[in-house]
């Protein structure tokens, strides 16, 4: 079996796990369901991941790193805070449209997430840094950056849930500007 095929199967397993974990929770999903969705036996799945927890950790790591990199990317741009914020929100909205399951998954509280977070930079801390820089540069008012980052993240974690429950439209492009205005208002950005 070629490495490309093995990597492809591994990616298929991760994608199936993301879908099921985000819909049913980690504890509500069993290895057989993941294997069935991918078309492999649970024994084949265990060749790629030693346990369901190890698979869940890998999925969390993927999303944590992805979202943290995006926030850090915009935070490090040499543009005014309000533009960083607008670009960040636009990118997060694209990410929700392309893969809402990651946001749904990170909105869950699971023991393995605590372990994964222990040794990694996370999106919340990247947002805290962005907000603190905005305050330091007098671009936004003084505020508790941890509270502001929590509210920011909470808003984005709820969007896919509200989409799935048909409270918000499935396509959020038309609401991106409203979301930008509201988040900017929350942070005191103009």
133 and 61 in a common domain: yes
For 172, the domain range is 57-187
Q: What is the CATH number of the domain that holds 13?
A: 1.10.10.60
61 and 2 in a common domain: no
26 and 90 in a common domain: no
The pLDDT value recorded for residue 7 is: 61
**pTM for this one?**
0.82
pLDDT one-digit tens code per residue, 24-82: 888 888 889 998 998 888 888 888 889 888 888 888 888 888 999 999 999 999 999 99
99 and 10 in a common domain: no
pLDDT one-digit tens code per residue, 135-153: 999 999 999 999 999 999 8
Looking at the structure of the chain, the number of domains it has is 2
Q: What is d(CA 32, CA 18) in angstroms, rounded to the nearest whole number?
A: 14
Q: What is the CATH number of the domain that holds 103?
A: 1.10.357
């Amino acid at each position: 079996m070629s490495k490309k095929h093995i990597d492809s199967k591994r990616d298929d397993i991760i994608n199936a796990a993301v879908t099921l974990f985000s819909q049913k929770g980690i504890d509500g999903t069993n290895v057989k369901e993941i294997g069935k969705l991918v078309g492999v036996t649970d024994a084949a799945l265990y060749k790629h991941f030693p346990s369901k927890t190890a698979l869940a950790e890998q999925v969390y790591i993927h999303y944590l790193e992805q979202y943290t990199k995006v926030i850090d990317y915009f935070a490090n741009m040499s543009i005014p805070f309000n533009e960083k914020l607008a670009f960040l929100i636009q990118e997060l909205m694209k990410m929700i449209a392309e893969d809402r399951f990651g946001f749904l998954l990170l909105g869950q509280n699971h023991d393995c997430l605590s372990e994964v977070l222990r040794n990694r930079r996370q999106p919340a801390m990247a947002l805290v840094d962005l907000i603190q820089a905005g305050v330091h540069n007098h671009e936004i008012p003084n505020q508790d950056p941890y509270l502001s980052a929590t509210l920011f993240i909470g808003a984005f974690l709820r969007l896919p849930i509200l989409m799935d429950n048909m409270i918000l439209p499935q396509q959020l492009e038309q609401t991106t500007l409203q979301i930008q205005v509201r988040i900017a208002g929350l942070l005191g950005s103009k």
